[in-house]
């Protein structure tokens, strides 16, 4: 066996044994559902911050972001704005969700939303959202694992098509088995225990990979010279490719051609779904203290994640792209052909082509990238399984109240989802890059429900349920799923995927809000006032503290106005460089003539404006009291009252 393969297999084997050891250890510790699904609600602030940032942001963004940049150019650098959008969404909801979790003690996100709206339909829609997100993320993780392993083996041994297919299938099967054992038996404690060091390893791996890529192009000076010599409309031009903000897309466009500006801007909405997903809500419950949701944590997450996504991942992807497009570039190791499906292989091959890219370093980088994906996928799978077991079977089946039975249902659900994901990944080995945006589009449909939970007590449960269901159907209808089913059945649909070159996240959220408002308007004129007032009295108890302390500062309206103005400026800095407005870009060319592409400058400018927006939402729009002190004091009677109710309900 080749020595390089041994150096790659040894770290992989040690990592797998570490996952198995942690999962087995936490299986013995998960003696009840709170330990199994919520890690006992005693996670330290530091571990919570590292784990949540890895699961909701870096773990699911790093590989797709590099692949999108490599495939279609610099305009996809705006996907790095997840470093702003995800902390922004968390700053609006996470602290309040943690407070409500401490008061009402829900086990799952579906239980919290279902009890708030007094609607079993809201629970069902939340469960459906969790299942769809877990399925899509599982397919993405399996495909990326197979692509990375193929990229690792390609420089060492030329593989035939049959051997390559067997290697890919075996990799996906092993990845699915690892995900099942780690999720189903370890629970949330094992997931967060591994996710925290995985986040640190991921940051270190990205920094090392950036240095390797810069070294491959002759150092930082050579990298800048390569950018200045590159003749590519997709990287060096200020406005987006094809010179138009809007261009119609055929059904297969995101796999083999760049997206227009409208598609990119609307796809950013899907990034909010990563923070409003059922798994993100359940992870918010796990922190032991409110300090984990302090304002500085959200701002620091936006700052540090932005540094990683706007520098390291962009440089890595550009180095791989430059190696293909610069005339006369000679790599010591052959690079795979430039095509839609070879993004991970090309990046790995470029690392192998450098003096620093020895197999041990490459194995560490690859395992760190996969560890982030495993953490994100495992959290989504556990959230889906826990919601199915706790919220759908709890009142329906005999013995469903027993923790052992519900854990068995959770494990069965996780295994079933992984089997379906494995079949999809085997049968349809397409480009996995748009899948994480599709998962975010599903999670985005819970955003109105969270807005009602945290800010708008007048929202009706029926309206929220109908809106979320319409949003999920709209996301499915405007994605590539109907097109694929139509091709299998020999049916030509009357429309293409991504209608009007708008991402399914936009269509889903639009349908969600439209149906929600329509249902609320119908209820306003057809239902009596007494039921609406009773529902409002119940929901307002989630918004008002028993001691009368306000949840907002007295001047919150002013800060909301400033946040809205800052959000408009943030959107403007994204839309202008993509061609939404006829703005002359010569000023940026005069300031940065040969140092940085103008699109990169615009993206960094958007990041700075986004940091100001996160500062306002995190510091000025959050509850002004100390949540730890409040929960230890004034809220104790309320907590005891709901605990007595819960115990009485169990006895009955």
DSSP annotation string for 488-525 = HHT---SS-SSGGG--HHHHHHHHHHHHHHHHHHHHHH
Q: For residue range 201-241, what is the model confidence (pLDDT) as tens digits?
A: 888 888 887 887 787 777 777 777 777 665 444 444 433 33
Token duo for residue 477: 């209808």
Which segment of 158-172, 333-347, 606-620 scores lowest on mean pLDDT?
333-347
Beta bridge partners of 43: 287
Question: What CATH number did the domain enclosing 352 receive?
Answer: 1.20.1730.10
Q: Note whether 588 and 601 are within 8 A (CB).
A: yes
Mean pLDDT, residues 611-618 taken together: 91
User: pTM (2 decimals)?
Assistant: 0.86
Residues near 475 by Cβ (< 8 Å), separated by ≥ 6? Answer: 438, 441, 442, 445, 504, 505, 507, 508
> Would you give the distance in Å from CA 46 to the centre of its chain?
20
Residues near 499 by Cβ (< 8 Å), separated by ≥ 6? Answer: 478, 507
Token duo for residue 515: 């149906």
Q: Check residue 230 and give its pLDDT.
A: 57
What percentage of the chain reaches a pLDDT higher than 90? 20
Q: For residue range 530-587, what is the model confidence (pLDDT) as tens digits?
A: 677 777 788 888 877 655 555 555 567 788 888 888 988 888 888 777 665 655 555 5
Helix, strand, coil shares, percent, the chain, to 5: 75, 0, 25
Ramachandran class of 185: left when φ > 0, alpha when ψ lies in -120 to 50, beta otherwise:
alpha
Quickly count: other Cβ atoms within 10 Å of residue 44's Cβ.
Answer: 14
Only one residue has tokens 């500006």, namely 261
Residue 114, class by beta-carbon neighbours within 10 Å (0-12 exposed, 13-18 middle, 19+ buried)? buried
Number of domains within the chain: 1
Instruction: Judge whether residue 80 has pLDDT over 80.
Output: yes
Could you please report the per-residue DSSP string of 567-593?
HHHHHHHHHTTTTSS----HHHHHHSS
Q: For residue range 329-342, what is the model confidence (pLDDT) as tens digits?
A: 544 444 444 444 45
Only one residue has tokens 């292989």, namely 345
Instruction: Judge whether residue 399 has pLDDT over 60.
Output: no
Mean pLDDT, residues 5-32 taken together: 80
Ramachandran class of 622: left when φ > 0, alpha when ψ lies in -120 to 50, beta otherwise:
beta
Tell me which residue range forms the domain holding 141: 3-651
Residue 79, class by beta-carbon neighbours within 10 Å (0-12 exposed, 13-18 middle, 19+ buried)? buried
Higher pLDDT, 405 or 651: 405
């Amino acid at each position: 066996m080749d020595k390089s393969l041994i150096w790659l297999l040894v770290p992989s084997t040690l990592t797998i044994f570490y996952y198995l050891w942690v999962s087995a250890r936490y299986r013995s510790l998960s003696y009840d559902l709170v330990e199994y699904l919520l890690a006992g609600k005693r996670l330290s602030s530091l571990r919570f911050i590292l784990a949540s940032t890895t699961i909701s942001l870096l773990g699911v963004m790093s590989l797709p972001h590099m692949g999108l940049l490599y495939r279609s150019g610099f305009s996809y650098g705006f996907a790095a704005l997840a470093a702003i959008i995800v902390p922004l969404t968390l700053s609006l909801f996470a602290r309040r969700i943690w407070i409500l979790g401490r008061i009402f003690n829900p086990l799952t996100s579906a239980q919290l939303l279902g009890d708030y709206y007094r609607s079993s339909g809201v629970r069902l829609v939340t469960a459906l959202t969790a299942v769809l997100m877990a399925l899509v993320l599982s397919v993405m993780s399996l495909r990326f694992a197979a692509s990375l392993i193929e990229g690792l083996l390609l420089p060492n041994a030329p593989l035939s098509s049959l051997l390559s297919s067997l290697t890919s299938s075996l990799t996906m099967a092993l990845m699915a088995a690892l995900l099942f054992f780690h999720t189903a038996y370890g629970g949330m404690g094992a997931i967060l225990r591994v996710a925290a060091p995985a986040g640190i390893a991921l940051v270190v791996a990205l920094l090392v990979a950036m240095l390797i890529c810069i070294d491959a192009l002759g150092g930082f000076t050579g990298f800048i010279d390569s950018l200045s010599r590159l003749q590519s409309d997709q990287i060096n031009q200020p406005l987006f490719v094809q010179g138009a903000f809007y261009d119609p897309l055929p059904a297969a466009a995101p796999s083999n051609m760049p997206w227009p500006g409208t598609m990119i801007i609307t796809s950013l909405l899907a990034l909010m779904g990563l923070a409003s997903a059922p798994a993100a809500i359940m992870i918010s419950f796990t922190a032991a203290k409110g300090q984990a949701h302090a304002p500085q944590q959200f701002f620091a997450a936006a700052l540090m994640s932005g540094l990683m996504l706007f520098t390291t991942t962009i440089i890595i992807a550009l180095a791989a792209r430059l190696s293909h497009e610069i005339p006369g570039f000679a790599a010591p190791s052959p690079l795979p052909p430039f095509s839609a499906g070879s993004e991970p292989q090309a990046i790995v091959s470029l690392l192998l082509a450098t003096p620093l890219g020895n197999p041990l370093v490459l194995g560490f980088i690859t395992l760190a990238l996969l560890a982030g994906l495993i953490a994100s996928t495992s959290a989504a799978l556990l959230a889906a399984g826990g919601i199915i077991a706790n919220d759908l079977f709890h009142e329906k089946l005999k013995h469903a109240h027993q923790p052992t039975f519900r854990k068995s249902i959770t494990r069965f659900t996780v295994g079933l989802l992984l089997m379906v994901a494995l079949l999809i990944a085997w049968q349809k080995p397409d480009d996995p890059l748009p899948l994480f945006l599709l998962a975010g589009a599903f999670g985005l449909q819970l955003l109105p429900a969270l807005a009602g939970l945290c800010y708008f007590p007048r929202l009706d449960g029926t309206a929220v349920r109908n809106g979320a269901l319409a949003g999920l159907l709209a996301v499915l209808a405007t994605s590539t799923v109907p097109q694929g089913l139509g091709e299998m059945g020999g049916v030509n649909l009357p429309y293409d995927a991504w209608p009007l070159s708008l991402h399914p996240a936009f269509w889903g959220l639009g349908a969600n809000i439209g149906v929600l408002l329509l249902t609320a308007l119908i209820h306003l004129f057809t239902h009596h006032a007494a039921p609406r007032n009773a529902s409002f009295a119940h929901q307002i108890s989630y918004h008002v503290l028993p001691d009368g302390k306000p949840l907002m500062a007295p001047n919150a309206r002013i800060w909301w106005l400033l946040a809205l103005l800052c959000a408009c400026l943030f959107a403007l800095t994204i839309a202008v460089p993509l061609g939404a407005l006829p703005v002359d870009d010569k000023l940026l060319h005069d300031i940065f003539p040969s140092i940085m592409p103008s699109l990169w400058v615009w993206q960094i400018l958007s990041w700075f404006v986004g940091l100001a927006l996160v500062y306002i939402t995190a510091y000025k729009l959050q509850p002004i009291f100390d949540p730890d002190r409040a929960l230890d004091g004034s809220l104790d009677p309320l907590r005891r009252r709901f605990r007595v109710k819960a115990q009485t309900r169990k006895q009955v």
